[in-house]
Amino acid sequence: MSESSSRHMHKQINIIDAHSHVYPDNLAERATNSVGEFYGVTMAGNGSVAGYQEQQQVSSITRSIIMSVALKADYVPTINNFIAAAAAENPSLIGFATMHHDFPNIEDEVERALSLGLMGFKIHPDSQQVNADDPRMMRLYAAIEGRVPITIHSGDYRYDYSHPRRIREILHTFPNLTVNAAHFGGWSVYDLAVEYLEHERCFMDLSSAQVFLGPRRTRELIEIYGANRILFGSDFPMANPADELERLEAAMLDEKSRELILSKNAEAFVGFDLCG
């Protein structure tokens, strides 16, 4: 069944992609290929803003949270400027800032990023090679707790940087920090995520998880965590939003769960109405 025909079986609702990546045009192909090499996968697009917006239209996505990751401290201001400009130029996009653990003035850059209109933060402990609960990262969480949310890449069987137990430590240390533990709380270590995060206070997005889990296990995990904690995310250019929506339809969720996952939870995550 096609994505468009499967959606016609349900009432039309807003769709928010809570996890997508974009890069400047001159870097998009190289950055996308680098991510593909890191995970050993074939990417679905080139990661440009225009490329993502084409996918938005195909998938009837209402709003999208865009982000990028700073692999070096020097890249932080440039990336934050780029994401802020992309969001300012495209009303359907919501920009999340990046941060690097070796950036010398974390608190100052937090304030600058927020002044640019960025609405949250994203870090990737595995590609940045830092423990998610490293004291340097804790400075970031302290600076944004109770103010804006953060998406943290969570889980990788190859590394310990973003182990779900580290996510739990962050949640316990900063009880007012709004966290999306991405990839169902633990990419490739989904059972460990359940062990450490089942009863914790955090959101989780579906990005780069459904393709490995399949519809039955996807539905089971949604039931374990509760549909009110789950965010739809494509992880573009890792995958196309249309394909991820098709996978979610295969999980055969009820209408209330679909609406929560596709839009309402994302609004709760960022803390305001995204769809008007």
Mapped onto helix, strand or coil, the DSSP state of residue 168 is helix
Between CA 66 and CA 220 the distance in angstroms is: 28
State the pTM of this model.
0.92
Residue 275 binned pLDDT confidence (cut-offs 50, 70, 90): confident
Q: Where are the domains of the chain?
A: 3-270
Residue where the block lists tokens 């998610």? 132
**Does residue 276 have a pLDDT over 90?**
no
- Cβ atoms of 261 and 2 closer than 8 Å: no
Give the right CATH number for 3-270 from 3.90.950.10, 3.40.640.10, 3.20.20.140, 3.30.200.20: 3.20.20.140
Peptide bond into 175 cis (omega under 30): no
- Looking at every residue in the chain, the average pLDDT score rounds to 92
- pLDDT tens string 149-180: 999 999 999 999 999 999 999 999 999 999 99
Between CA 35 and CA 19 the distance in angstroms is: 15
- Strand segments, DSSP code E, in the chain are 16-21, 63-67, 93-95, 97-98, 121-123, 150-152, 179-181, 204-205, 230-231
CB atoms within 10 A of CB 271: 13
Over residues 192-206, the mean pLDDT reads 98
Instruction: Tell me how many degrees the CA angle 242-247-250 measures, rounded to the nearest 5.
Output: 130
**Does residue 212 have a pLDDT over 80?**
yes
pLDDT of residue 36: 61
Between CA 124 and CA 162 the distance in angstroms is: 8
- Cβ atoms of 101 and 72 closer than 8 Å: no
- Cβ atoms of 43 and 35 closer than 8 Å: yes
